[in-house]
Amino acid sequence: MRCAYHPDYHVPLPPSHPFPMAKYPLLFQRLRAAGWLNDAQVLVPDEAALSDLCLVHTGHYLQQLADGTLDAAAVRKIGVPWSQALWRRSRLAAQGTLMAARAALDDGIAGNLAGGTHHAFPAHGEGFCVLNDVAVAIRVLQRDGRARRALVIDLDVHQGNGTAAIFEGDADVFTFSMHGERNYPSRKMHSTLDVGLADGIGDDDYLALLRRHLDDILATFVPEIVFYLAGVDPVRGDRYGRLALSDEGLRQRERCVLEACGSRGWPLVITIAGGYAPTPERTAELHAIVFEEAFRLPLQPRACAAS
């Protein structure tokens, strides 16, 4: 399995900032040290082309990001201070998801050691999200004729509000979000299927709901590619999550998604989305689980009919 990563996914933030930026290099180093990821498996992205980003985001918003002319309220809503490095980082991560999507169409599965920034809307960012990488990748694949029907499985604890808004009413893109009902964002958008969870839910209830809804979706919608937002913020002890998945419950969740897609031969793109464990090391440990499980799968190269 190939995975996209760039050292500049990491951008220095003030020490007191709540976003665990260190999780990106820590996740990469962890997968490398464990022998899961060798040089040939690493996809190194360039910055996403503006012509691709424009398929989702407005020219005005992209111009403000490029020029550093977002007003103070817009920067506050994103929650991360603007810098040229942040703009570059956002474009690298978007391109990483696109590269992983193309690799998944060729190989059956691929990942980005970032991405899943699902709170980004066409004309603004919020909740630590600047660009909606998954939406951009879907629109690029559609434009290039590589895939039309896409399924987004978003298991980050926060609703994928930006993604839901971008694809609302689009019959070619099924957006599934399972999230804390009382958690951010307070104003939810309309995914194709939203499953709101009560605070404190644990492994058994969570996994039963996931299996039931995944079965329903997979029985009715046949995608050409699946994007998985494997946020680890539903795990017990997360600073923002309010749910109570165990490490083993998380591992079962990842197997459930991997097996559902793998058994049907659907190309799967893994993005990491959110995770706010007490330390960045612990966050990276949790993010590594989906990749560990994916690396264990037998790789089945696909005939690339659409390319």
Q: Which of residues 217-236 bind Zn ion (CB under 5 A)?
A: 231, 233
Which position has the token pair 């709101």? 196
Of 267 and 274, CB closest to Zn ion: 274
Question: How far apart are alpha carbons 252 and 42 in whole angstroms?
Answer: 26
Residue closer to Zn ion (CB basis): 193 or 306: 193
Q: How far is CA 94 from CA 88, 119, 188, 248, in A?
A: 10, 14, 24, 30
Q: How far is CA 235 from the centre of its chain?
A: 16
Q: What are phi and psi of 184, to 5 degrees?
A: -60, 145
With contacts defined by CB under 5 A, name the span among 102-110, 158-166, 200-208, 252-260 that binds Zn ion. Answer: 158-166
- DSSP notation for 210-273: HHHHHHHHHHH---SEEEEE---TTBTT-TTT--BB-HHHHHHHHHHHHHHHHTTT--EEEE--
Closer to Zn ion by Cβ: residue 111 or 275: 275
Size of the site for Zn ion (CB under 5 A): 5
Which of 102, 97, 36, 105 minimizes the C-alpha distance to 228?
A: 97
Nearer Cβ to Zn ion, position 30 or 158?
A: 158
For residue 158, the minimal CB distance to Zn ion (Å) is: 4
Distance CA 67, CA 266 (A): 40
Give whichever of 266 and 276 is closer to Zn ion, judged by the CB atom: 276
**Binding of residue 158 to Zn ion (CB under 5 A):** yes
Cα–Cα distance, 59 to 272 (Å, whole number): 27
274 binds Zn ion (CB under 5 A): yes
Residue 233 CB, shortest distance to Zn ion, in Å, is 4
Contact between 179 and Zn ion per CB under 5 A: no
Stretch touching Zn ion by CB under 5 A, among 135-143, 204-212, 258-266, 269-277: 269-277
Shortest reach from residue 235's CB to Zn ion, in Å: 11
Interface ranges with Zn ion (CB under 5 A): 156, 158, 231, 233, 274
